[in-house]
């Protein structure tokens, strides 16, 4: 009887344990079935007791990403990385979350850390190249993709990104050689987009418009196509069609730099200042140091009556970019509003000097171009 009682005491906990719910397994099943709300709830339920379970925290972050809750996901990925800093997939996922939020500098920082341990990871390389292009650093993207093209000569995604980088860097002849492999596979949205970019770089806007329209027809969600098409439409005398294309680009990528800046300027003209400012802030998430976007923000703050904020922004702009004539003029206007006439006169004179210098440089460039012909 004693032995039986002992055995019974041993098996009771096992039976109870077998009947208990496993929130991690249930969460994984819910995630696989597309029920992210349940997955998030169950993962959090588990982490409330086992907060050090870094892999489960990473799973929670993935569920948050699928739900579009990127800011929350970033916090979970960062916490997970504290426990396992050398996990490449978690760091890659963190970079992707930053990327999808338009926080390109932070995405690049994580990718640089990742590439120290996995320098030839294709996914990380492609994402880094795209981040460089969005940041206006085409030469850096060319340098990076040339390395991957040597290592993976048959990878079409690498060829495609390398070709785009070369086109953005105005290396059209070299781009043509790289893109032959992509273009030889027949018509596709990607090939039409590349041909459109090549035509645009060659200043053949009419052909560029045809190719880009075809790219959009084949794939309306191709990143960058609507934005460039809008820009080309303005060049061929159809500016009234551009705003709709910029709007469509922002549906595909809410953080497209060009689409945000151009949309902001249109809203600014219509005196929709709060909306315009939101688009400029999106643009600055991608390129925090872009002088044009910084100028627009300072100008909008001035128009909104945030004069002191605008003054500080314009002062920093003219310090960082002393030849930026419009920034000097904007600062002069702010000084006059603040009854700071001597400072306003100084900046107005600086604006005139900068404008004259910029015009002189432009004329020199035109003469040099004429001589080359």
3-state DSSP of the chain: CHHHHHHHHHHHHHHHHHHCCCHHHHHHHHHHCCCHHHHHHHHHHHHCCCCCCHHHHHHHHHHHHHCCCHHHHHHHHHHHHHHCCCCHHHHHHHHHHHHHCCCHHHHHHHHHHHHHHCCCCHHHHHHHHHHHHHCCCHHHHHHHHHHHHHHCCCCHHHHHHHHHHHHHCCCHHHHHHHHHHHHCCCCCHHHHHHHHHHHHHCCCHHHHHHHHHHHHHHCCCCCCHHHHHHHHHHHCCCHHHHHHHHHHHHHHCCCCHHHHHHHHHHHHHCCCHHHHHHHHHHHHHHCCCCHHHHHHHHHHHHHCCCHHHHHHHHHHHHHHCCCCHHHHHHHHHHHHHCCCHHHHHHHHHHHHHHHHHHHHHHHHHHHHHHHHC
Has residue 359 got a pLDDT over 60? yes
Share of the chain above pLDDT 70, in %: 94
Has residue 132 got a pLDDT over 60? yes
Q: What does pLDDT average to over the chain?
A: 89
pLDDT bracket for residue 257 (50, 70, 90): very high
Q: Which residue has the tokens 């994984």?
A: 28
Residue 24 has what pLDDT?
A: 87
Has residue 9 got a pLDDT over 50? no
Would 53 be classed as within a structural domain? yes
pLDDT single digits (tens) 154-185: 898 999 999 999 999 999 888 888 887 777 76
Look up the domain containing 315 and give its range: 298-373
Of 68, 99, 118, the position where a domain reaches its end is: 118
Would 156 be classed as within a structural domain? no
Has residue 194 got a pLDDT over 80? yes
Residue 21 has what pLDDT?
A: 60
Taking the C-alpha atoms of residue 23 and residue 29, their distance in angstroms, rounded to an integer, is 10
Has residue 341 got a pLDDT over 60? yes
Of 103, 118, 133, the position where a domain reaches its end is: 118
Taking the C-alpha atoms of residue 334 and residue 351, their distance in angstroms, rounded to an integer, is 13
pLDDT single digits (tens) 84-95: 998 999 999 999
Taking the C-alpha atoms of residue 169 and residue 163, their distance in angstroms, rounded to an integer, is 10
Would 245 be classed as within a structural domain? no
Do 210 and 198 meet the contact criterion of CB atoms below 8 Å apart? no
Do 223 and 253 meet the contact criterion of CB atoms below 8 Å apart? yes
pTM: 0.78
Has residue 2 got a pLDDT over 80? no
Report, as an integer, the average pLDDT of 222-240.
94
Would 143 be classed as within a structural domain? no
pLDDT bracket for residue 23 (50, 70, 90): confident
pLDDT bracket for residue 365 (50, 70, 90): confident
Residue 4 has what pLDDT?
A: 37
Taking the C-alpha atoms of residue 97 and residue 61, their distance in angstroms, rounded to an integer, is 9
Do 64 and 40 meet the contact criterion of CB atoms below 8 Å apart? yes
Residue 104 has what pLDDT?
A: 94
Residue 20 has what pLDDT?
A: 53
| 9 or 117: which leads in pLDDT | 117
Residue 16 has what pLDDT?
A: 42
| Number of domains the chain contains | 2
Selection from 85-99, 174-188, 289-303, 352-366 with the highest mean pLDDT? 289-303
Q: Which residue has the tokens 């997939």?
A: 89
Would 125 be classed as within a structural domain? no
Residue 5 has what pLDDT?
A: 39
Has residue 266 got a pLDDT over 50? yes
pLDDT bracket for residue 355 (50, 70, 90): very high
Counting other chains too, the contacts that 29-36 makes at CB distance below 8 Å and 24 or more residues apart are 31/59, 31/62, 31/63, 31/66, 36/63, 36/64, 36/66, 36/67
Would 247 be classed as within a structural domain? no
Residue 14 has what pLDDT?
A: 43
Residue 330 has what pLDDT?
A: 97
Report, as an integer, the average pLDDT of 257-279.
95
Output the domain CATH number for residue 368. Answer: 1.25.40.10
pLDDT bracket for residue 17 (50, 70, 90): very low
Has residue 287 got a pLDDT over 60? yes
pLDDT bracket for residue 15 (50, 70, 90): very low
pLDDT single digits (tens) 178-191: 887 777 767 889 88
pLDDT bracket for residue 119 (50, 70, 90): very high
Counting other chains too, the contacts that 173-181 makes at CB distance below 8 Å and 24 or more residues apart are 178/149, 181/156
Residue 27 has what pLDDT?
A: 87
Of 57, 86, 118, the position where a domain reaches its end is: 118
Would 106 be classed as within a structural domain? yes
Taking the C-alpha atoms of residue 124 and residue 162, their distance in angstroms, rounded to an integer, is 14
Would 73 be classed as within a structural domain? yes
């Amino acid at each position: 009887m004693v032995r039986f009682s002992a055995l019974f005491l041993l098996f009771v906990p096992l039976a109870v344990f077998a009947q208990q719910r496993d929130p991690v397994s249930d969460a994984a099943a819910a995630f696989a079935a597309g029920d992210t709300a349940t997955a998030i709830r169950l993962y959090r339920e588990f982490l409330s007791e086992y907060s050090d379970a870094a892999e489960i925290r990473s799973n929670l972050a993935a569920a948050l990403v699928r739900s579009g809750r990127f800011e929350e996901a970033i916090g979970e990925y960062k916490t997970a990385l504290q426990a396992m800093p050398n996990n490449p997939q978690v760091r890659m996922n963190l970079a992707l979350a930053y990327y999808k939020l338009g926080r390109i500098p932070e995405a690049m920082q994580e990718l640089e850390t990742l590439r120290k341990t996995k320098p030839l990871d294709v996914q990380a390389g492609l994402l880094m190249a795209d981040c460089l292009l969005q940041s206006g650093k085409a030469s850096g993207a060319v340098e990076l993709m040339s390395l991957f093209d040597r290592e993976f000569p048959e990878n079409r995604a690498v060829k495609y990104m390398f070709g785009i980088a070369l086109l953005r860097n105005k290396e059209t002849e070299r781009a043509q050689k790289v893109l032959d492999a992509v273009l030889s596979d027949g018509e596709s949205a990607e090939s039409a987009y590349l041909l459109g970019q090549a035509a645009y770089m060659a200043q053949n806007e009419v052909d560029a418009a045809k190719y880009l329209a075809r790219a959009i027809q084949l794939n309306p969600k191709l990143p960058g196509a609507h934005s460039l098409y809008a820009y080309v439409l303005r060049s061929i005398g159809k500016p009234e069609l551009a705003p709709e294309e910029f709007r469509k680009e922002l549906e595909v990528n809410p953080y497209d730099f060009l689409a945000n800046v151009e949309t902001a300027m249109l809203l600014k003209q219509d005196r929709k200042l709060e909306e315009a400012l939101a688009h400029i802030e999106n643009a600055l998430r991608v390129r925090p140091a872009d002088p044009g976007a910084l100028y627009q923000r300072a100008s909008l703050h001035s128009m909104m009556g945030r004069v002191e904020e605008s003054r500080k922004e314009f002062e920093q702009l003219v310090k960082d970019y002393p030849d930026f004539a419009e920034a000097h003029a904007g600062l002069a206007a702010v000084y006059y509003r603040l009854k700071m006439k001597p400072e306003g006169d100084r900046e107005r004179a600086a604006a005139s000097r900068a404008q004259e210098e910029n015009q002189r440089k432009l004329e020199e460039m035109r003469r040099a171009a004429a001589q080359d012909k």
